[in-house]
């Protein structure tokens, strides 16, 4: 692991990024999950950032699954999960082949696209009729989500766009998302180890940040009761937008501020 920033700045940014995992798992701030991977990719090599995050995401999934157990939509999961494995395998080959430089560009493009998608969802006011997508659509969505999740841990918008038109209840919608990504994250472990995205170094670095996840989850639950989700989401989306642009341009605000 190499980085151009002082240790204090690295720790502060990493602290914030991991803390956001807990907040996002608590269901607060719709776009917050988009920020974690690109934020860490600004200060660390992108492959290290992606590998570092997976065990932490799995820890967060354990907390979240307990609260959403038993309410998932099995029919959707049967369409999405097998296809996601194909996407994970393709994503693993992609991660093995791509350099850190171009992976940062890819992550930048992915998060900028999803910021645009999220903004569209926020401003869309037309109520659509319930749509039951065909099985092959679920297959394509599963492949795409598996690929993007493997490369950037940023596939939430893909699954959300697939599930939202089905007009599932909020609890079923959230529970299905939670179980899908919990399984996808588990399926990514062996490929990540095989292409050395998860290493002893990344595990040792990550273990110190595990307490931030339940802390972030509790904070997210507290924020749900006291702060406007819409306002918080706008702030996060602005940060994601800035971070994505910086990854694409290979210039980041932290370097400019420290000069």
Helical H segments across the chain, by residue range = 7-25, 36-43, 46-68, 74-97, 100-123, 135-152, 156-163, 170-187, 189-194, 200-207, 212-226, 229-249, 253-258
pLDDT digits (tens, 9 = 90+) for 199-230: 999 999 999 999 999 898 888 777 767 776 66
pLDDT at 37 over 80: yes
Above pLDDT 90, what percent of the chain? 39
Give the per-residue pLDDT at 257: 47
Ramachandran assignment for 44, one of left (phi > 0), alpha (psi -120 to 50 degrees), beta (any other): beta
Q: State the virtual CA torsion across 201, 202, 204, 205 in degrees, nearest 10.
A: 120
Q: What is the pTM of this model?
A: 0.84
- Mean pLDDT value across residues 232-245: 74
**Both tokens assigned to 158:** 């893909």
Q: Where do the structural domains in the chain lie, given as residue ranges?
A: 7-258
pLDDT (average), residues 71-100: 94
Question: How many Cβ atoms from other residues are within 10 Å of residue 32's Cβ?
Answer: 27
Share of the chain above pLDDT 70, in %: 82
- The neighbour count for residue 170, using CB atoms within 10 Å, is 9
Q: What's the pLDDT tens digit per position in 88-131?
A: 999 999 999 999 989 988 988 888 888 887 777 666 654 555 56
DSSP 42-82: HHS-HHHHHHHHHHHHHHHHHHHHHHHTT---HHHHHHHHH
Mean pLDDT of 27-33: 62
């Amino acid at each position: 692991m190499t980085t151009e920033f002082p240790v204090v700045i690295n720790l502060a940014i990493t602290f914030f990024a991991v803390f956001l995992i807990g907040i996002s798992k608590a269901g607060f701030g719709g776009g917050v999950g988009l920020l974690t991977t690109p934020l860490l990719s600004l200060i660390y090599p992108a492959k290290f950032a992606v590998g570092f995050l997976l065990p932490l995401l799995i820890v967060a999934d354990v907390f979240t699954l307990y609260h959403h157990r038993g309410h998932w939509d099995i029919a959707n999961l049967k369409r999405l999960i097998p296809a996601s494995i194909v996407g994970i395998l393709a994503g693993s080959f992609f991660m093995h082949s791509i350099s850190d430089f171009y992976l940062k560009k890819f992550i930048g493009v992915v998060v900028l696209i999803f910021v645009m998608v999220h903004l569209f969802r926020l401003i869309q006011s037309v109520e659509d009729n319930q749509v039951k997508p065909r099985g092959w659509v679920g297959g394509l969505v599963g492949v795409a989500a598996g690929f993007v999740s493997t490369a950037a841990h940023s596939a939430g918008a893909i699954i959300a766009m697939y599930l939202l038109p089905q007009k599932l209840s909020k609890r079923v919608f959230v529970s299905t998302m939670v179980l899908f990504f919990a399984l996808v994250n588990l399926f990514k472990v062996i490929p990540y180890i095989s292409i050395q995205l998860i290493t002893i170094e990344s595990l040792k670095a990550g273990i110190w940040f595990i307490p931030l996840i339940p802390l972030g989850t509790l904070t997210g639950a507290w924020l749900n009761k006291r702060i406007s989700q819409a306002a918080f989401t706008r702030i996060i989306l602005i940060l994601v937008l800035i971070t994505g642009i910086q990854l694409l341009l290979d210039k980041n605000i932290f370097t400019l501020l420290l000069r």
